[in-house]
Amino acid sequence: MVTIKQTQLIEWLKNITLVIRENKDILTALDSEIGDADHGFNMERGFNKVSEKIDELSRSQDIAMLMKNTGMTLISSIGGASGPLYGTFFMQAGAVLGDKTEITLTDLKNSIENGVKGVKDRGRASVGDKTMIDVLEPAVQSLSESVGENLSLEQALSNMVDVAKNGMKSTIDMIAKKGRASYLGERSIGHQDAGATSSYLILKALKETIN
Amino acid sequence: MVSIVIVSHSKKLAEGVVELAQQMSQNKVKIAAAGGLDDESSPIGTDAFKIKEAIESVDSEDGILVLMDIGSAVMNAELATEMLPEAIMKRVLLCEAPLVEGAIAAAAQSMVGADLKAVAKEARNGIQGKETLLGAPEEDVHLDKTIATKGREIRLIVPNDLGLHARPAVRLVEITNKFNNEVNVSVNDKPFVSARSISQVGTLGAKKGDTLIFKVQGDDFSAFENALKQFELDNFGDPKGGTIKEKEVKEPAKTIVNKCGFIQGIPASKGISIGKAKVLKTETISVDEEIVEASLEELNKFKNAVVRVASETEEIRQKAMGHHGKEDAEIFDFHLLLLSDKEKLKEVEQLIEKNHFSAAYAWFKVFSALEAKYQEMSDEYLRERASDIAEIRNKVLDEISGAHQMKIVLHEPSILVVDEIGPAQTLSLDTDKVLGIISKTGGETSHATILARSLGIPSITGLENQIDAIKNEDIIGIDGSTGIIYLEKTHPEKINALRVEQQAEEKLFKERFSKAKLPAISSDDVEFKILANVSSPKEAKIAYTNGADGIGLYRTEFLYMNRETPPKEEEQYEIYKQVCENMHGLPVTIRTLDVGGDKPIPYLGIPEESNPFLGLRGIRYCLQNTEIFKTQLRALCRISADYNIRIMYPMVGMLEEVLAANTLLAEVRYELDQENIAYSKAMEIGIMVEVPSVTFILPQLAKYLDFLSIGTNDLTQYLLAMDRENTLLSKNYSALHPSVINALSKIIDGANKEGIEVSLCGELASNPGATALLSALGLRKYSMSGPVIPRIKDAIRNMDVSNNKEEFKGFAEWSTLDMVKKAIS
C-alpha cells in the first residue's frame, strides 16, 4: 500500500471513538491521580460527537476538510483543555493537505507534523513537560525518519506507535509543567499523563486502521 | 466604550460575573458571558465557538477585553480569537487579570470611556482593593507609595450617608476623567491613589465625614475643583436626608395620612385583626405549573404582554424623568433592561415551546428564579433590585392573565396589603394564613370584598395612596367594621386597644356561634330562614358550621375561572355534590353560570364590550352559548336526583329569557330520559332579580317560576345607573337609597301576591340594621356570607317584627340616603 485513502481516515475516526470508549475509565483514572478527573469523560464526549456526525463528516470534499470538520467538532464538544488542543491538532493536520483525497507517507508526516506544531503553539508545551507532546513530538520524529529511510507506510506507522508508546511511558517519571497537574509539582511524579495516553491511543488507532 | 467578554468553565460563574460587572457599569458597557458547554449532563467546560460568538455579540470599535478563568478557557479564548474576522481580531485583547475583580474594575473603567489598554490595566489592578483590605505582604502591594503628593490640593468632606460606595466612586472617576489633570486622592492618611482609576478609588473606603484630599497637577484645576464642589453639593449623587434606601427613594412619600395619624379606608369585611403586613409586590405571588399544547398562542400572549409592559414602563419613565428627575427614572431603565433581556426572554420562550408551559407559568418560573438570585446577593443595592424584578414579573403576569388571576401564597399569618385583589385570588387564599386584606382600590361590593366577607376575613378597601404608608413587615391593626388601620410603630396604644376589642369580639362571636344552628325566630314568633352565599365547597362548609339554613346562592362561575377550558359535566357534578354534601341535606340554590361584567373568563370568548355590565352577561351569554349552558344544566339535573337543589338564572330581564332557558332545560331532561339517567322533575326554578325591568312583569314571570332571589348589588347598580366597581362613586353607591328600598318593597309585595317565594341574597342582607327594615317590608328569607349568619340570627332573635313594621311604616316617604341610614341606625 502506497497511500491512505479518505475512507480509511474515516474508519480511523470511528476506531478512535471505540478505543476512547474502551479506555475511558483508564484515562479518567490517570487524570484523577494528578488532574481533574475529566479527561476520559471529555474525550469520550468529544469523539461521541464525532461518531454522531460521522455521516456528515464523511461527506467532506477532501481530507483537509475532513480533518478540519473533525477538529471543529472536538473544539465545541470536549470541554476541557483537550478540546482546543486536539481540535487544533486535527485542523492544523488538515491544513497542509490541499485538496487531496488520498495521502502518501510524506503527506502523512507533513500533516501530523503541522498538527503537532499547532498543539505546541496552543499549549506552549515542549517535550519533558509531561503532556501529549511527549508522545506526539517523538511520533513526528519517527515519521520523519521513516520518510528519509523510504520505509513502507505499514512499517512507518508501526515504528511511530512504538516510539509513541515509549513517549507515553516516559511521562511517568516527569514533573508536570502544564495544566492542572502542574499545581502538584513533584507530587506528579510516578503517574502517567492522561493526555499523553490519549495521544498514544489515537496514533495506535491509526496504525491499526491502516495496517 | 470597550466591551468585555467573560469566559469561564462554568456558565453560572460567567453570568454571575457579568451581572456583577454590569452592576458597576450600570448596564452601559456591553458585557457578554461565554461560560460552560451546551451539554446538560455535564455543563462544565469551555467552548471556543461560544467565546467567538460572545466576542462578536459585543464587538465594539473601542476594543473587546476578554477575561477568562483557567486552563482550556485560555486556550479556547485564543482559538476563538483566531477564528474571528481579522478586523475584529485586531481589537480583541486577552487579559490575564483576575476574573471577578478584573471584570468589575474593567467595567467601571470602560464606562468612563477609557481605551482598551487602560481598561486592561485597570482589570489587572483589580486585585488591589482586596490586597489593601486583607493586607497582602508588603512587597506584593503594587500601590505606588511614592505616587505624587505634589500638586495643588482640594479637600472634600464626604457628605453622603453611605460614603464613597460603588456608585459615587464611579461618578468621582467619571468626573476626574473629564478633565486634563493628573489627580491623586487619599483619605485618612492612606497612600495616595489615582483618582482616574475606579479600582483604586474604590479601595479608599471613605465614610461619611471623612476628608478626601486631592492632589491635582494640570491645567484644568479650577474646572475640576468646581465639578468636585458640585459633586459634593449633590451629596455624591445619593439622595439627601436620612439613610435612604434605594427602594424608598423611588416611592416619593406623598402619603396622605389622616390628621389623627391613622389610615381610613372603606370598611369592607368586618372583624379586627392585628398582624404583620405583607405587601403584595414581593414574593407572595405564585403561578401553578400548567401545560398548554397551543404553544404558539401562549408564545404570542407572552410576547404581547412583554411589549405592552415595556411601552407602559417607557411612559412611566418619561413621566418620572419630568417629575422626579434622573435618579427616579433610572429605576425604570433597569425595568426596561429586564424586559429586553434577550437571554431571559429566550429562556421563557423555550419553556413555552419545548416544555409546553403556559405563558404565565414559564414567565413566572424564569423571573422568580431571577428574583431569588438577586435576593441572595450580598450587595445591598443588588438585593434591593429583587423587588424590581418582582414588580416587572407581576406586571407581565397581569398582562398575560388579562385579569388578576395569580395565586397568592403566604408563608405565615399576615395581613395582605394589595393594590387590587381579584375574586379568584381571594378565593385561592389560605384562610388560615390571611388575617386580613387591605387594598388600594375596590369598593364595598366588589366581588373580592364580598368573597372576603364570606370567608370571614376582615377587610378594608379604597385606601388609595394611603396604602404607601404601610411597609412590608409593619405590624398593623385593622378594624374591618370602621375601616381604620393603625400602624404599631406610630400607635402602639391603639393596637393594644384593638387587641382588647378583638378579644371582646371573639367572646361575643363564640356566644353567637354556639347558638348559630338554632332557628332564627323573632320575639313575636316570626320564623326567618337564614341562608348562605357561597362560591365553593370550602365556603359551604364554613356556612354550615355557622348555622346556615341552606345555601341561598351558590355562584358557579368560580368553577369556570382560572382555567383554559370550561369544566366538564363530570367535574361539575363532583363539585356540586361536594357542596351539597357539606350542607348535609339542607336545600342548595345553585345559580347557573353568571359570566361577564366584572367576571371575565378569557376562553369563553366574550368580545371586548364598551359596556360589559350592560352586555353579554349571565343568562344572555348562556342562551347564546348553549353547549356550555346545557353541560351545566345536565350536571345540575343529575345532582337533583340525589340532593335537594334548586336552580336560578342570573341577569334575567325579560320573560323570553326564562322561556328560552326552560326550553333548554327541557331538552336536557329529555336527553337524560333517553339515556335512562335519573333526575328530579320537582327541581325548583327561579331567577335573580337584579335587572330593574323584572319589577314590572312579576305576575307574568311568576307563572313560570318557583322563586325569586333579589340581588341587591346589581339591582342597585342598575337602578342608580352607577358602576359598583367605580371607587369615585362608592360614596353614593348604596342599596339603602330610597329608590332601591321602594323597589325592594314592590318586589316583595309582588312575589307575595303571586304566591312565589322571595328571598334576598345581596350584601344588604348582612347589614343588621337593614335586617329589621327588610322584615318590615315582609321579607322572611335572607342569604348572606356564612360567617355573618350567627350575628344576623342573633339580631333577629332580639327583634319584634310588628314593632319593626310600626317603626318603618313611613319608609315610602324617605327621600334621601342619609334619611334611610339614620332611620335604620
**Average pLDDT, integer, range B304-318:** 82
Residue whose entry in the numeric block shows the C-alpha cell 507533513: A110
User: Taking CB atoms and an 8 Å cutoff, what residues of chain B touch A72?
Assistant: 49
- Measured over the CA atoms of residue B805, residue B807, residue B810 and residue B812, the dihedral's sign is negative
Task: Please enumerate in sequence order all residues whose Cβ is within 8 A of that of A75, keeping only pairs 6 or more positions apart, or say none.
Answer: A83, A84, A87, B47, B48, B49, B76, B79
Phi, psi of A193 (to 5 degrees): -75, 135
DSSP for B107-162 reads HHHHHTT--HHHHHHHHHHTTHHHHHHHT--GGG----TTS---SEEEEEE--STT
pLDDT of residue B283: 44
| Best mutation target, B75, B81, B96, to test chain A (most A CBs within 10 A) | B75
pLDDT at B446: 66
- Interface membership of A34 toward B (CB under 8 Å): no
CA distance B278 to B492: 19
Provide the grid cell at B601: 373568563
Rounded to whole angstroms, how far apart are CA atoms B624 and A105?
Answer: 85
Confidence of residue A95 (pLDDT cuts 50, 70, 90): very high
CA angle B446, B449, B451 (to 5 degrees): 110
> Between vectors from CA B540 to CA B539 and to CA B546, what angle results, nearest 5°?
90
> Could you write out the three-class secondary structure of chain A?
CCCEEHHHHHHHHHHHHHHHHHHHHHHHHHHHHHCCCCHHHHHHHHHHHHHHCHHHHHCCCCHHHHHHHHHHHHHHHCCCCHHHHHHHHHHHHHHCCCCCCEECHHHHHHHHHHHHHHHHHHHCCCCCCCCCHHHHHHHHHHHHHHHHCCCCHHHHHHHHHHHHHHHHHHHHHCCCCCCHHHHHHHHHCCCCCHHHHHHHHHHHHHHHHHC
Q: pLDDT of A188-206, one tens digit each?
A: 888 899 999 999 999 999 9
d(CA B163, CA B751): 77
Q: Residues B365, B367, B373, CA angle at the centre, nearest 5°?
A: 105
Q: What is the pLDDT of residue B321?
A: 67
Specify the pLDDT at position B381. Answer: 62
Give the burial string for B544-565 (b: 16+ CB within 10 Å, else e): bbbbbbbbbbbbbbbbbbbeee
Point out the residue among A45, A75, A85 whose CB comes nearest to the CB of B39. A45
Q: pLDDT at position A48, please?
A: 93
| Predicted pLDDT of residue B380 | 60
**Helix, strand or coil for residue B67?**
strand
Confidence band (pLDDT; 50, 70, 90) for B447? Answer: low
Q: Which of A84-88, B96-100, B148-152 has the lowest mean pLDDT?
A: B148-152
Return the DSSP state at B596. Answer: B
Residue B649: pLDDT over 80: yes
pLDDT at B128 over 80: no
A148-152, A186-190, B362-366: the lowest-pLDDT one: A186-190
Q: What is the mean pLDDT of residues B119-126?
A: 88
- Residue contact B45–A87, C-beta within 8 A: no
Residue of A nearest to B39 (CA): A77
pLDDT winner (highest mean) among A52-56, B123-127, B631-635: B631-635
* Structure confidence at residue B252 (pLDDT): 31
Tell me: pLDDT of B815 over 80.
Answer: yes
Q: What is the pLDDT of residues B730-787, one digit of tens each?
A: 778 889 999 999 999 999 999 999 999 999 997 788 887 899 999 999 999 999 989 8
Query: What amino acid occupies position B367?
Result: F
Measure Cα distances from A187 to A33, A190, B136 in Å. 10, 8, 28
- Residue B513 contacts residue B536 (beta carbons within 8 Å): no
Average pLDDT over chain B, rounded to an integer? 84
- Which pairs with CB-CB distance under 8 Å and at least 24 residues apart come from B377-386? B379/B23, B380/B245, B381/B23, B381/B166, B381/B167, B381/B246, B382/B19, B382/B23, B384/B245, B384/B246, B384/B247, B385/B334, B386/B282
Spatial separation of the C-alpha atoms in residues B497 and B152, rounded to whole Å: 65
Give B199-251 as a 3 state SS string: HHHHCCCCCCCCEEEEEEEECCHHHHHHHHHHHHHCHHHCCCCCCCCHHHHCC
pLDDT tens-digit series, residues B219-244: 888 889 888 988 888 888 776 654 43
**Domain at B3-126: CATH architecture:** 3-Layer(aba) Sandwich (3.40)
Q: What pLDDT, on the 0 to 100 scale, is given for residue B439?
A: 86
Query: Which CATH number is correct for B140-244, 3.30.1340.10, 3.20.20.70, 3.90.1150.10, 3.40.50.300?
Result: 3.30.1340.10
Q: Which residues of B363-386 are buried (b: 16+ CB within 10 A; e: fewer)?
A: bbbbbbebbebbbebeeeebebbb
Residue A77 near chain B (CB below 8 Å): yes
User: Which stretch of A47-56, B156-165, B197-206 has the lowest confidence by average pLDDT?
Assistant: B197-206
CA distance B649 to B4: 66
% of chain A surpassing 70 pLDDT? 100
Superfamily of domain B263-281+409-499: Phosphohistidine domain (3.50.30.10)
pLDDT of residue B383: 64
> Does the distance separating the beta carbons of A78 and B39 come in below 8 Å?
no
Please tell me which residue, B134 or A14, carries the higher pLDDT value: A14
Considering Cα of B758, then B759, then B762, then B767, what sign does the dihedral take?
Answer: positive
Q: Give the pLDDT band (50/70/90) at residue B654.
A: very high
Whether ipTM tops 0.85, in short, is no
Mutation choice for A interface testing from B53, B72, B82, B94 by most A CBs within 10 A: B72
Residue B550 backbone zone (phi > 0: left; psi -120 to 50: alpha; other: beta): left
A:B CB pairs within 8 Å: 58
Could you give the CA distance from residue B775 to residue B770 in angstroms, rounded to a whole number?
Answer: 8
The 10s digit of each residue's pLDDT in B209-225 is 888 999 888 888 888 98
Of A44-53, A62-71, B168-177, which range is least confident?
B168-177
* DSSP state, residue B551: E
Which of B 2-21 lie inside 8 A of A, CB atoms? 9
pLDDT bin (cut points 50, 70, 90) of residue B335 is confident
Q: B391 is written with which cell numbers? A: 414588580
Confidence bin at B520 (pLDDT 50/70/90):
very high
3-state secondary structure (DSSP) of residue B95: strand
AA identity, residue B176? T
Q: With bands split at pLDDT 50, 70 and 90, how would you rate the model's confidence at A86?
A: very high
Q: Which of B183-187, B326-330, B397-401 has the highest mean pLDDT?
A: B183-187
- Sign (positive/negative) of CA torsion B112, B117, B120, B124? negative
Per-residue pLDDT at B543 exceeds 80: yes
Report residue B595 as a C-alpha cell. Answer: 359570566
pLDDT of residue B137: 53
Residue holding cell 309585595?
Answer: B749
Find all residues with CB under 8 Å of B179, minimum gap 6, and list them: B218, B220, B223, B224, B227
| CATH number, span B521-824 | 3.20.20.60
Could you read off the pLDDT of B500-509 as tens digits, one per residue? 888 888 888 8
- Decide which of 3.30.930.10, 1.10.274.10, 3.40.50.620, 3.40.50.300 is the CATH code for B289-405: 1.10.274.10
Listed in order, strand segments (DSSP E) in B520-650 are 520-521, 527-534, 551-555, 588-591, 645-649
Q: Can you give the pLDDT at residue B138? A: 46
Contacts of B71 in chain A (CB under 8 A): 80-81, 179-180
Rounded (10°) angle between helices B48-57 and B72-83: 60
- Considering only the beta carbons, identify the residue of A79, A85, A180 that sits closest to B46: A79
Domains (range + CATH), chain A? 4-210 (1.25.40.340)
pLDDT attached to residue A145: 94
Q: Which pLDDT band, with edges at 50, 70 and 90, does B203 fall under?
A: low
Strands B475-479 and B272-279: antiparallel
CA distance B417 to B800: 42
Domain coordinates in residue numbering, chain B: 3-126, 140-244, 263-281+409-499, 289-405, 521-824
CB A89 within 8 A of CB A70: no
Residue B260 appears among annotated catalytic residues: no
CA distances from A54 to A49, A67, A207, B40, B278 (A): 8, 12, 20, 22, 60
Q: What integer pLDDT is reported at residue B309 of this predicted model?
A: 85
pLDDT band at B142 (very low <50, low <70, confident <90, very high): very low
Interface probe with A: pick from B37, B38, B94, most Cβ of A within 10 Å: B37
pLDDT value at B195 more than 90:
no
Query: Rounded to an integer, what distance in angstroms lies between the CA atom of residue B687 and that of residue B710?
Result: 8
Report how far residue B109's alpha carbon sits from residue B107's, in angstroms, rounded to the nearest whole number: 5
Cell of B421: 385583589
Q: Which residues pair with B555 in a beta bridge?
A: B591
B683-704 average pLDDT score: 96
| B9 interaction partners in chain A (CB closer than 8 Å) | 79
Contact between A79 and B45 using a beta-carbon 8 Å cutoff = yes
Query: Using CA atoms, how far apart are residues A94 and A115, in angstroms rounded to an integer?
Result: 8
Give the Å distances, CA to CA, from B101 to B76, B131, B142, B774.
21, 11, 15, 76
The yes-or-no verdict on residue A21 having pLDDT over 90 is: yes
pLDDT in tens, B551-583: 999 999 988 887 778 999 999 999 999 999 999
Q: Say what the pLDDT of residue B778 is.
A: 95
Amino acid B395: pLDDT: 81
Out of B165, B335, B447, B737, the active site residue is B447
**CA B225 from centre of chain:** 48
CA B478 – CA B277 distance, rounded (Å): 10
Least confident of A39-53, A148-162, B156-170, B735-749: B156-170
Q: Higher model confidence: residue B675 or residue B40?
A: B675
Q: What is the pLDDT of residue B256?
A: 44
Q: Report pLDDT for B249.
A: 30
Provide the CB-side half-sphere exposure for B296 (13 A, CA).
0
Residue B282 has pLDDT above 50, yes or no: no
As a whole number of Å, the CA-based R_g of chain B is 34
State the smallest CA–CA distance between residue B86 and chain A in angstroms. 19
**Could you read off the pLDDT of B695-720 as tens digits, one per residue?**
999 999 999 999 999 999 999 999 99
User: Is the per-residue pLDDT at B407 higher than 70?
Assistant: no
What is residue A10's predicted lDDT score, i.e. its pLDDT?
95
Q: What percent of chain B has a predicted confidence (pLDDT) above 90? A: 39
Q: What is the pLDDT of residue B143?
A: 45
pLDDT at position B148: 54
DSSP B752-789: HHHT-EEEE-SGGGG-HHHHHHHHHTT--EEEEEGGGH
Read off the pLDDT band of B24 (50, 70, 90): confident
